[in-house]
Structure formats: C-alpha cells, structure tokens
Structure 1
Amino acid sequence: MKLKYIYSALMAAVLLLGFTACSSDEDTPTTKPEPKVETALTFDTDTVSVGVGETTTFNVTAGGGDYKAFCENPDIATLSIQGNAITISAVKHGYTGVVVSDAAGNYKRLIVKAMYKKILLDKEEVNVSMKVGHTDGTAVVTVTGGNGGYEAVSGHEDIAEVHSIVDSIITIRGVSNGTAMVTIKDKMGLTKTVKVTVTTTDIPFTEEEKASIMASTEPIMVFDDGRSRQYGSMRIGQEGGKRIAEWNYSDYLYLKCWFTGDLTVGMKAEGKVGVKTDYWGESTTYEGVNVEIIKVSDTQVWGLMWLLKDNYLHYGYFILPIDND
C-alpha cells in the first residue's frame, strides 16, 4: 500500500513538470524580422539642359547609396560624380542620356540636352566692296557655334541682302552703298547680329586683278558679260586710222575696241567698244570708253577698258596678239 502511494506521488510530479514545460514553451514570444524597405531612386530633376562648354549639376534625392553613373554618348556630354551630386559637362550640341545606379540595384535614366546658349560667329562685321551698279560683291559669315536650323534677314535689303544659307555658311550680297544689320537666328530662337558695310567703286580693277591679268598669256577679250570664244580671230591692229583690239567671228559675233595712240603702256584716247556676243541679240556700241594699255611684249598687248554710264560701271580687258600687217 505504501509503495502505491509513493508511485502515485511520482507520477503526479512528472505530469506537473510536463505541464510546466509546455506552458513555458507557449509563453515565449517569437521574434519576427523587420520587413525590408526598398527606396526608389529619385533625382531633383528629370531633364538637364547645359550650354556647350559649360557644366551643370543635379542631385540624387533618394536611393540605395553608393551611386554610379555613365553617359550614353560621351561625344556630347561627360560627367563626374561626388556623393549624390552628378556634374554634367556639355561637349557639343545634341541629346543624350545619363544612367544612374545604386547599391540596391536600382537604375534610372535622365535626359541631357546639350545646346548653345548663344550663337558664335567667325566674324561680327563684314565689308562688301563692289563696282558701281553691280551686285556681285559678297561676304561670307560662318556660324561656328549654334543649334542649327539657321535663318538670316537683312534690316536694309536695299543695301545688303542674304544671298544664301548653306548649313552654317551665310552669304551676304551687297546692293548699294551703306550699312545694314543682318540678324541670324537658330532653331532655339537665339539671335546674333552682323554689321555689313557696303562700298561701291568706279575703279574697274584692283591691283591684284591687274597683276592676275598681266600674268596670263592666253589670248582673250572680255567686256561686261561678253567673252571671246575659241573660234574666230583675235588681234590688235589698225582699222580706219585707229587701233583696234578685237575678237571677230565673221562680223557676226564680235568684241571690238577702237582707240587712238601707240602701243605703249598708258592711257589712250577716243575709246569706243562694240559688242555682239549673242546670236539672237542686238549689237551695242559704247562711246567715250577709257582704254589703258598695262603691258606690252614683242608679240602681245594687255589692255583694260571701262566706262561709267547711267550709274553702272561697264568694264573689260584684253590679251591679244599684235597684228603687224
């Protein structure tokens, strides 16, 4: 009987220990890990505009740290990075992108617009010199820095006009004496003004042009738009008591210059020019023409012809063989 009581007491103690152990396991709280918070990569701007030759900086405002970046087209822009600040340097006009990454594996792209903030020209003042009544005097202005799509307009088209625009090359043509301002604009609306001074002269040839004529030995005769051709005869001789310099194709097409005086260097008298160089055109005669011989050899004569009439300078020259017959 005594053993029975002892056994019962032991079993009760074992059960009590079991209940206590279970209760302890259930009462211990379970520690759960904090959920990972992902930070989006953001900038203080989505687009950067920077002038060519200039720099600008944008900032990473949020992200996973340890930022890296590269430029998609380093010919247009380059970059440097320090912390969360990224500095862009524009190399030339164009569009490109910058890609930024962080330690969390985020990537984000930003647009870069590299553009000129002002138009740059190879010159801001040009001079146009031309003969009286002519409009063949020109000057060229080249845009060395700009955003393309150039337009140009003259403030006084009666003095100077825009003759042509080819890419970044602008040709300005003189019309009459005076000063005009030509305004150049690019596709971004930037403008730049060029001062154009037009001067006219009644001097038919510059010293450089005279030197070029005297350096040639090829027989030729030119007056205004008329020019001798490969056929016909060319000579300087005598006709009707005067000297005559001529290109003549059967008296059907011709250029003729009559004058008095010998074949020595200097001004001659009683100059007259006859022109018929168009098959279907009429002949034209000019009286009172200035004739100057500028060079003489044993076989050839070099001469100039010019006349200012009705506010228009007519001019020409000849290099002709001497006809001793």
Structure 2
Amino acid sequence: MKKIIYVMCLGAMGLISCEEEEMNRPDSSLWEVAETEQTEGTTLNVGADLFDLKIGETKQYEITEGNGDYKLSVLDSDIAEVSLQEKTLTVKGLQQGATEVVISDKNFNYKSIKLNVYITDNLIVESQDGVKISLPLGNPKVQTIQVIEGNGEYQAVPADKEIVTATVLGSSISLTGLKAGETSLTVTDSRGLSVIIPVIIEESSSPYTDEELEAFKQLTDKGYYNDWSGFILKTPKTNGFFTGDDGVKVYVSNGNNYNGTNDHFRWQKGSEGLNGSEGLILWFDTKDTTGHRTLGKKENMTMKYFKRSDTEGINIKIDKVPLDFEVIKVDEEKRLIWAVWSAQYEDVFYFGKLIMPNYAE
C-alpha cells in the first residue's frame, strides 16, 4: 500500500507530496520504498549512489537507464537545489546537511538517491604541527586551540588521557595538561576528516610561558588579571578604591600613606576587610617600599586569601603563605608596573598578574 500511494503521488502530481509527513520531512527515508521491485520496463538508474558536494558547489548527474518522462523531488529543498532537464540532474549545495532526491519515470519506476552537502574538504586545526603546554610548578593547566576549518561536530581524543584530557565546545578544543609527557591528539569532524596533533606537556617553574608574558606586557589597562581558576575575579579592574559593576573592590596601597599599613595589593568582593565574601591580598612584610616596584623578583612577600563559608557563617582563610612575586616591566612615563605572582598552599596553586601604578593613588 505504501508503494501504491507513493506511485500515485509521483504520477498524478509530479512528485508534489500527497502525504506531507511522508514526503517532505527532512528526517524521513524512502530507501525502503525505492529499493523494492520496480514495476515494469527498463530499470531506472542514475550514474551515482550518492550526490555529494560542498556548499555553493554545483554538480551534474546523468540518468543512465529509464523509460523517459522523468520527474524528481528533493525532500529538503533548504539543503540543496535540484533541477532536471531531459536526463541531466543539476544539484547545487545550499547548506550543510543530508537529504534525499527521488526520481521517477513514466512507468512509475523510481529511485531514491541520498544527497549530502558539506562545508570543506579540509580539516585545519590551530597548532596542528604540535601543542606544548607548560604546567606551572607541575599543576594542571588548560590551553585552548581552535578548529580553523572543518565540517563541525568535532571530536578530540587524546592517545594518553593520563597526560592530557580534551573537551570540545563548538570549534574550541580545551586541553588540560595533567603531567609531564608526550602524547597525541586526534581531531575528527562530521565528514570523517582527521588530523593527529603531537602534544608535549612540560613542568615549569613559572605560571606563564614566555609568549604569554610578552603578550601581557603589551597591555596597558591598570587592574588585576587573575588566572587562578578557583578565584572568581578574572576581569581587569581599575586601581585605587574602586568598586566595579560586579561589586569587586580593588586597592593598591602604600604603607607610607595608609595609616602605616604594609605595602600591598588587594582585591575583594563584599565589605571592607574580612567581612567581604571573598578576597585576596598580596602583602609585603615591611612598610619600607624601597625597591618593591622596580624590576626583578621581590622577597619577604606573602599571600592572604579569605572566603566566607555559607554553612558556618565564618571566614575560611589562609594567611602568610610565601609568595613568588616578580615585576617584569616598569614604564616610568606611564608610572606603571607589570607583575606576576604565584603561591602554593596544600593542593591549590594560586597565581595571577597585575598592572598597577608604581605609587599608591
């Protein structure tokens, strides 16, 4: 019965569907119908088992056998434009996707051909000659690479998931280096194209690579650029006693100016002092600021971090954690310093960078 209804649609209405839910849904398949025994006369054949072409590309296919008076229909005309002149089918790809083309002749023989429209014949991934990730003091680090060209639905599979893991979001691939070693990453797309990318994971004594530091030194907006994933304040903030739209207060203090308080850098959410919901303070252990904001590594510096506990109603804090702090650039004209810092406390690695005035404002 299904075959008889379909034949009536082809013959009487020129392939304009009499059963819309059967004929025009992009997800419907007519292969079972088209593969059944043909009615009479010469077998209907087209010189291809698959119409396969790129977006914007036009291809022609010939009907190699049939009984004349050919008609056709494409199940999803948004994917491809298909036309017929005598025995020649012209197919133009419009957008990525898969559908089917149904062809009939005057003897009610018919043929269904799958049609696939894709984006590109190439899969190109950023850094596909090799990815190197430096683990700050052996701690895990995330590095993101982009798929530059491909057909979507990307997958990224590391050869050794103990060395690196991968997650995919759209065309972005986030790699998390876990431990030192060498492995590879296989990236594939929906068309089955693939590239294999060498991956090297190294341990580093610095939280940043040389390339990352050079890029940071080109920035000029004053503020904190925190990269420790456990701390939520990641956007640069203006220095001084400033509260941003998200309630983040940022300070740079000189011990000689603020009631004898030691020289420090601080940012926090919430109220003053330890009444805030979360905060981080980088302290020098002396009021003498001589040399604190000149080039080089600084000694006698510690970190304090606090975060209010919602369950206990008190502040959870760590204090006087030894801090590695280095001023990597000084601009006397702009009166700015660029600095990076890091600290290790139990199993947590804290690190970040800042651009601050070389004096307290």
Q: TM-score, normalised by structure 1?
A: 0.62
**Distance verdict in 2 for CA 1:144–1:90, change over 3 Å:** farther
Per-residue deviation, residues 60-107 of structure 1 (Å, max 9, x unmatched): 4341x4x5455533852646667x5x4565635411314344xxx545
SS of 2:299's partner is: strand
2:163 corresponding residue in structure 1: 159
2:218 corresponding residue in structure 1: 211
Name the amino acid aligned to 2:302: V
Match of 2:322 among 284, 287, 300: 287
1:256 corresponding residue in structure 2: 282
Aligned-residue offset at 1:130 = 4.8
Equivalent pairs, count: 272
Structure 2 residue 199 is the aligned partner of structure 1 residue 194: no
Name the amino acid aligned to 1:246: F
1:3 corresponding residue in structure 2: none
**Distance verdict in 2 for CA 1:88–1:108, change over 3 Å:** farther
Match of 1:94 among 98, 118, 124: 98
SS of 1:247's partner is: strand
Aligned-residue offset at 1:243 = 6.4
Structure 2 residue 314 is the aligned partner of structure 1 residue 275: no
Aligned-residue offset at 1:121 = 1.7
Q: State the distance in 2 between where 1:135 and 1:195 align.
A: 18
2:150 corresponding residue in structure 1: 144
List alignment gaps of at least 5 residues for structure 1.
Answer: 1-37
Q: Does the 8 Å CA contact 2:123/2:189 hold for their aligned counterparts?
A: no
Larger of the two Rg values belongs to structure: 1
**Distance verdict in 2 for CA 1:316–1:273, change over 3 Å:** farther
Aligned-residue offset at 1:255 = 0.4
Q: TM-score, normalised by structure 2?
A: 0.57
Name the amino acid aligned to 2:284: W
**Distance verdict in 2 for CA 1:43–1:88, change over 3 Å:** farther
SS of 1:145's partner is: coil
Structure 2 residue 107 is the aligned partner of structure 1 residue 110: no
Aligned-residue offset at 1:270 = 1.4
Aligned-residue offset at 1:237 = 3.2
**Distance verdict in 2 for CA 1:231–1:154, change over 3 Å:** closer
Q: State the distance in 2 between where 1:80 and 1:274 align.
A: 75
Match of 1:122 among 105, 113, 124: 124
Q: State the distance in 2 between where 1:193 and 1:293 align.
A: 38
1:6 corresponding residue in structure 2: none
Match of 2:353 among 316, 319, 324: 316
2:266 corresponding residue in structure 1: 247
Q: State the distance in 2 between where 1:128 and 1:158 align.
A: 16
Name the amino acid aligned to 2:161: E
SS of 1:136's partner is: strand
Structure 2 residue 282 is the aligned partner of structure 1 residue 265: no
Q: State the distance in 1 between where 2:323 and 2:251 align.
A: 25
Cα root mean square deviation, aligned: 4.5
| Paired residues for 1:172-191 under 5 Å | 172-175=174-177, 176-184=179-187, 190=192
Larger mean Cα displacement after TM superposition, 276-285 or 43-52: 43-52
1:43 corresponding residue in structure 2: 44
Q: State the distance in 1 between where 2:51 and 2:302 align.
A: 64
Q: Does the 8 Å CA contact 1:221/1:320 hold for their aligned counterparts?
A: no
2:34 corresponding residue in structure 1: none
Q: State the distance in 1 between where 2:61 and 2:143 align.
A: 48
Larger mean Cα displacement after TM superposition, 154-163 or 118-127: 118-127
**Distance verdict in 2 for CA 1:121–1:271, change over 3 Å:** farther
Name the amino acid aligned to 2:281: L
Structure 2 residue 340 is the aligned partner of structure 1 residue 305: yes
SS of 1:97's partner is: strand
SS of 1:139's partner is: strand
Q: Does the 8 Å CA contact 1:221/1:246 hold for their aligned counterparts?
A: no
List alignment gaps of at least 5 residues for structure 2.
Answer: 1-38, 238-246, 309-314
Aligned-residue offset at 1:131 = 4.7
Per-residue deviation, residues 14-59 of structure 1 (Å, max 9, x unmatched): xxxxxxxxxxxxxxxxxxxxxxxx9646313698313324968454
Aligned-residue offset at 1:119 = 6.9
SS of 1:158's partner is: coil
**Distance verdict in 2 for CA 1:320–1:255, change over 3 Å:** farther
Aligned-residue offset at 1:163 = 1.3
Match of 1:234 among 239, 249, 252: 252
Aligned-residue offset at 1:142 = 5.5
Q: State the distance in 2 between where 1:243 and 1:144 align.
A: 55
